[in-house]
Amino acid sequence: MKEFITDIVKYLKLSDASVREGLNHELYVNLAGYEFRNTMELLSKEFSLIAVFCVQNFNGHDGFTLFYAFEQKGRYEVVVFQRPLSSFQATSVADLFPSASWYEREINDGFGIEFTDAFDKRRLFLHEVYPPDFHPLLKAFRNHPIETRKDIMPEQEYRFNEFAGEGVYQIPVGPVHAGIIEPGHFRFSVIGETIFNLEIRMFYKHRGVEKLAEGKTPLECVPVAESISGDETAANATAFCVAVEKISGIDVPPRAWQLRTVFLELERIYSHLGDMAGMITDVAYPVGASNFYILREEILRQNSAITGSRFLKNIVAIGGLKHDVAIGALVGLLKYLKTFPASLKDALDLAYRSPWVIDRLETTGIIEKRLIDPLHITGPAARASGVDTDTRIDHPYGIYSHLPLQKHVLEKGDVMCRFAVKAAEIMDSVQIINDLLIEGIKQGEVFASTRVRDGYALGVVESPRGQTMHWVYIKNGLIDRYKVRTASYCNWRAIEHAIQGNIVPDFPLINKSLNLSYAGTDL
Amino acid sequence: MFKQFEKIFQPKLSEVYKDVDFEKLGVRLHHSISTVFGRSLAVRELDSGSDNATEIELVNLTTPYYDIERFGVTFVASPRHADVLIITGAVTHNMEIAVRKTYEAIPYPKLVVAVGDDACDGGIWKNTYAVNGGADRVIPVDIKIPGNPPAPHEIMLGLLALMEYIKKKKKS
């Protein structure tokens, strides 16, 4: 940590006094207005932007503070730059960090802060139905049902980027899709059958997660974290709990962390299985897909036997777990996992031996390596494009630093690579759970008594889709600000690039190969 | 290639993964769909702001362990083909227009089933700025299937209750 502080101070030419240590391997750096632009320019060379968020009345500063969280390859610590604002105006960094554009639009919606030189100032999560001067994250707004706009004039409608030229036409798709899928709008600009541009409009499922958390006790907030995204329940709950535990100095018992690890890896297994089933379905091979669906259902049943919930809800708690797990259920899981690898291999063989499957997966939807850092693309999507990133290894939490983990990295970045990376990761997760269960889960408590303290900290966890980030600020025992940024939020931007030059019928396949959560993006 | 043929001549997966209780439930549902709807029930699913767990369970109903199509239930791509709308989520403001339009696109007579706690009464999102709070605030709802999310057999039970509801409605 000390060494990193020295490096940072030297690299960015800051004063020692402006840097302080956070509670969960973070560095907080105060940035004055005149240093801001220079620092950001320097950062854009070697650092990747994890998230940008805004907090009102932070630590006695009356007004807004912007937070810019960064990571650097090979560093455990996350660096968070703090920029206090004196008005409702700020400068944009979207020209340096393309991913910042969504964050800035989000802050504009939430707080009414204008990024004066931003190239895109459209609203993001507040669609047309919200009144013009409505900013839900302001402290002055108390959460209650609001009147929405009923008569929306055509000129008030959202403006998609327009692409014109000979033979270019638009295909609008969604928000309601032809299947059991979450809502979102895709605007394709197409020439013939080839996609020239895709603009994705999300946030149809905006439920107000962050505002809902405000004013709740951290304990009451765990179900909120769990409902961010249905199939990333354990990851989001764990990330939230880690942040609160670090703030409060709670030591989670080893047994609880071992069991949490079992849940997190089970979640990865069933989530990846669903993705793979989806990919095979979308190349019109339902027989091949059914094997993956069967395995997923079996894992969901194991989840239920262990925790009482097929989606691992209501088990992770601040300080450990809500209740212990029956030994019989763990023995059952171990027994089941013995048969699992052979079944998975059968399922994979069926897919890999089918030339028409391979033909559709290979060279489709390539995410180029050069996009990974600027867009902060994360998880299996990044690993399939040749970048060795994994939060479990880069920013280990719980017992992950003691586990023999490996990163599965492939170079080509197409759908096939994502399929293969996910297959390999399922096998790893099975191995991790096996090892934990065979070595024996430690006896003892699964819950450390909790007295929540005030403060703030960051929790980062590798969810099945990649890095999920939760920043929690507790004031007077209540949540004052809860910022969530799931892996899906970052990776949606990857699809807009991966799709270019592909044909329209390959869109569902490319979409499924990342299988992003709409709910986890829209919050 | 050989493997493909093996697969074809194997017993049906739904035979291999038979669950006796679920099977009984399915046969009952099939019987009641046959009496109320002729032979099949076409369902259109609409997500108005759920956390996606309910969607996963609905998809599961179509996979080999359950294979609900055997019992006459099909999930259709267009609301125009639907008898029943299954709605999940607390109806966010951003989805409200799409929900109304989807409902309007279903031909009469139409029925609506709210699946999951959020769709039933708003769940944890109740009384917040971003949602209407419960599907029945926006469109008429006939049957509610609570749960976070309800398990596949609970959804089946709900559909069975829907058939009974229609029978009663017909009589009165």
Give chain B positions within 8 Å (CB) of A300. Answer: 60
Crossing angle for the helix pair A218-226 and A233-248, nearest 10 degrees?
160
Overall average pLDDT of the A315-340 stretch: 91
The pLDDT tens digits for B87-112 are 999 999 999 999 999 999 999 889 99
Nearest chain A residue (CA) to B102: A176
Q: Is the pLDDT of residue A131 over 80?
A: yes
Is a pLDDT exceeding 80 seen at residue B12?
no
Inter-chain contact A519–B149, Cβ cutoff 8 Å? no
Q: Which residue of A has its CA nearest to B88?
A: A182
Domains of chain A by range and CATH? 2-115 (3.30.460.80), 159-201 (no CATH), 209-516 (1.10.645.10)
Q: Is the pLDDT of residue A206 over 90?
A: yes
- Pairwise CA distance, residues B41 & B30, whole Å: 9
Closest CA to A311 of A257, A390, A236: A236
Inter-chain touch A230–B149, beta carbons under 8 Å: yes
Residues with Cβ within 8 Å of residue A152, at least 6 apart in sequence: A128, A129
Count of alpha carbons within 13 angstroms of residue A203, beta-carbon side: 17
Instruction: List, in sequence order, every beta strand (DSSP E) within chain B.
Output: 41-47, 73-75, 84-88, 111-115, 143-145
Terminus-to-terminus CA distance in chain A, angstroms? 33
B128 vs A517: CB contact, 8 Å cut-off?
no
| Sign, CA torsion B150/B154/B158/B163 | positive
Amino acid symbol at A290? S
B57-89 core/surface letters (b: 16 or more CB in 10 A; e: else):
bbbbbbbbbbbbeebbbebbeebeebbbbbbbb
Measured between CA atoms, the residue of chain B closest to residue A517 is B52
Which of the 8 DSSP states describes residue A398? T
Distance separating alpha carbons of residues A4 and A74, to the nearest angstrom: 11
> In the beta sheet, which residues pair with residue A469?
A460, A485
Q: φ, ψ for residue A437 (rounded to 5)?
A: -75, -35
Q: Where are the alpha helices (DSSP H) in A283-414?
A: 286-307, 327-352, 355-361, 372-375, 380-383, 391-394
Q: What pLDDT was estimated at residue B86? A: 95
Computed over every residue of chain A, the mean pLDDT equals 90
pLDDT tens for B43-77 read 999 999 998 999 999 999 998 888 899 999 999 99
CA atoms of A383 and A427, how far apart (whole Å): 16
Q: What is the pLDDT of residues A386-445, one digit of tens each?
A: 999 999 998 999 899 888 888 889 999 999 999 999 999 999 999 999 999 888 778 888
Residues 6+ apart with CB under 8 A from A45: none
A214 shares contact with chain B (CB less than 8 Å): no
With an 8 Å Cβ cutoff, is A517 touching chain B? yes
- What is the share, in percent, of chain B residues with pLDDT greater than 90? 65
In angstroms, rounded to a whole number, what is the distance separating the alpha carbons of residues A371 and A379?
14
Interface TM-score (ipTM) > 0.95 = no
Phi, psi of A519 (to 5 degrees): -60, -40
* Distance separating alpha carbons of residues A456 and A479, to the nearest angstrom: 10
Instruction: Tell me the C-alpha distance between A351 and A289, whole Å.
Output: 8
pLDDT for A7 beyond 90: no
Confidence of residue A8 (pLDDT cuts 50, 70, 90): confident
Q: Could you tell me what percent of chain A has a pLDDT over 70?
A: 100
Of A125, A180, A208, the CB nearest to B75: A180
Res B13 pLDDT > 80: no
Q: What is the dihedral of CA A17, A22, A26, A27, to 10 degrees?
A: -10
pLDDT of residue A23: 87
Mean pLDDT value across residues A356-372? 91
Contact partners, residue B128, CB within 8 Å, separation at least 6: A143, A144, A145, A207, A208, A211, A212
Nearest neighbour of A230 by CB, restricted to B53, B97, B128: B53
Confidence of residue A470 (pLDDT cuts 50, 70, 90): very high
- Band (pLDDT 50/70/90 cuts) for residue A9 is confident
For A28-54, how does the pLDDT look when each residue is reduced to its tens digit (9 = 90+)?
Answer: 988 887 888 888 888 888 889 999 999
Residue B2: pLDDT over 70: no
pLDDT-based confidence at residue A163 (cuts at 50, 70, 90) = confident
Query: CA distances (Å), B28 to each of B24, B34, B160, in order?
Result: 6, 10, 8
pLDDT at B8 exceeding the cut of 70 = no
| d(C-alpha A134, C-alpha A127), whole Å | 11
Q: Alpha helices, DSSP H only, in A353-470?
A: 355-361, 372-375, 380-383, 391-394, 415-439
Instruction: With beta carbons less than 8 A apart as the criterion, state whether A196 and A163 touch.
Output: yes
Q: Would you say B7 and A347 are in contact if contact means Cβ atoms under 8 Å apart?
A: no
**A148, A180, A294 ranked by CB distance to B17: nearest:** A294
For residue A44, count CB atoms less than 10 angstroms from its CB and return exposed for 0-12, middle for 13-18, buried for 19 or more.
Answer: middle
Q: Which residue has the tokens 């070595």?
A: A439
Residue A84 has pLDDT above 80, yes or no: yes
Per-residue pLDDT reduced to its tens digit, B109-140:
899 999 999 999 999 998 899 999 899 999 99
Per DSSP, what are the bridge partners of residue A28? A20, A80
What is the CATH architecture of B13-171? 3-Layer(aba) Sandwich (3.40)
For residue A180, the chain B residue with the least C-alpha distance is B45
pLDDT value, residue B161: 93
Q: What is the pLDDT of residue A293?
A: 93
Nearest to A211 among B97, B128, B148 (CB): B128
Amino acid A202 reads M
Q: What is the pLDDT of residue B141?
A: 94
**Which stretch of A117-121, A204-208, A264-268, B168-172 has the lowest confidence by average pLDDT?**
B168-172
Contacts of B3 in chain A (CB under 8 A): 349-350, 353
A176–B contact, CB cutoff 8 A: yes
